[in-house]
Amino acid sequence: MNSPHIHDHDGPIAIARVSPRLRSDGLPALAGTKRAAEPPTQSSNASDENYPILPSSEDKNLSNSSSSDDSGSDSDHFEDPPQKYELPSDHRLQAQRPKLQLFSREEFENWRGGVKHTAPRDDRLPPRKRFKASDSREASTSADERQHASEKNEARSKGFFHLACPFYVSNPKKHQKCLLLDDLRSIKGVINHIVAHHSKPPYCPICWKAFNSVADRDSHILTEKCRQQDSLHIEGINLDQRAWLTERDRGDLDERARWHSIWSIVFPKSERPQSPYLDEVCRLAVSEVRDFWDANGQQCVLKFLDSSNLPGEDDGRVNDAFCKLALEDLLNGIMERLESAHPGSLGST
């Protein structure tokens, strides 16, 4: 029987059919203890041997992926973020969203006239990386405070380009939603976004069916009832790449170099883009909206409610949820206008 292939960025990779591994007591090793069949990294050499069954760190949060503590949870499901409060569809504030969108757009246009966005300095580093470990804490703190004050004053009239998702840069049309999902202001934010939204799901290398958990995938494989199907392209990063994103990140490098390092891990065979930023005119508008909302969002909503003689809410969760919806509406409205005026500028055509 021919081995199925994964078509990744490096080309096809052969995968042998997975045979259940046996423990010392003769029982198959399942996902709660060991994981079956994970495709190799994009740069790995193909092999006809079965893949070794690895610890099921695939089900753990990225923040725990580098931990050596194996005494944690044996959960076989991906960890979902805590459920956030969402404004009920019948809440009285829902009816105000169209009016608030128009109000917010006008406030944004007035604000953006006094702000200029530029690329960050090439030597912009995390404050703690600016000094050697031998420097005194007092000197480091003092310098950090001066740097923070300098950047704060600079930000009053100048904003910095926000970072782009590498998947969005590679295919803007397919990954336009990345512009709405997260505000990427740091390399850590880029890594977290990729792991959260661009990780490959657990899937069977025989029939290519995707599963919600490694345990479900392993149980399916152990039954050996599926039929071999033609290989499919499954986009996203695998476990090795997830680990490399943090292991190979060098905090002593500038932001641009660190982003390009991420690109090389995610798309090792693709030419890296010149800029890691949302610096083109239309894409820049998305960053401008987020900067405006960071500085003025809550005040904008309060101003709207006051001008409309609408009472506020005592529940902070309601206010936060309403502000979140208002930002989404403003972003969607701005993006629709940009696409109408400049088709394809954001990747939707």
Does residue 257 lie in a domain region?
no
Q: Would you give the DSSP letter of residue 276?
A: -
Does residue 3 lie in a domain region?
yes
Q: How far is CA 146 from the centre of its chain?
A: 31
What residue type is assigned to position 264 of the chain?
S
Instruction: Please report, for the chain, how many H helices and E strands are present, in that order.
Output: 11, 4
Does residue 214 lie in a domain region?
yes
Between residues 148 and 336, which one has the greater pLDDT?
336
Into how many domains does the chain fold? 2
Amino acid 85: pLDDT: 87
Does residue 292 lie in a domain region?
no
Q: What is the DSSP string of 286-320?
A: HHHHHHHHHHHHHHHHHHHHHHTT----S-HHHHH
The parent domain of residue 137 ranges over 128-157
Mean pLDDT of 232-241: 90
State phi, psi for 13 to the nearest 5 degrees: -125, 125
In degrees, to the nearest 5, what angle opens at C-alpha 192 toward C-alphas 331 and 181? 15
Burial label for 216, CB within 10 Å (0-12, 13-18, 19+), is middle
Q: Retrieve residue 1's tokens.
A: 């029987």
Does residue 147 lie in a domain region?
yes
Q: What is the DSSP string of 96-160?
A: GHHHHHHHHHHHHHHHHTT-EEEPPPTT---GGGGS-TTS-HHHHHHHHHHHHHHHHHHHTTEEE
The rounded mean pLDDT for the chain is 74
Does residue 180 lie in a domain region?
no
Write the pLDDT tens digit of every residue in 242-290: 999 999 999 999 999 999 999 999 999 999 999 999 988 788 899 999 9
Q: How far is CA 63 from the centre of its chain?
A: 14
Does residue 83 lie in a domain region?
no
Mean pLDDT of 212-221: 91
- Which of 319, 314, 347 lies closest to 87 in space, CA to CA? 319
Of 23-37, 64-78, 273-287, 298-312, the poorest mean pLDDT is in 64-78
Write the pLDDT tens digit of every residue in 85-104: 899 999 999 999 999 999 99
Other Cβ atoms less than 10 A from the Cβ of 271: the count is 7
Amino acid 233: pLDDT: 83
What residue type is assigned to position 202 of the chain?
P
- Does the model's pTM come out above 0.75? no
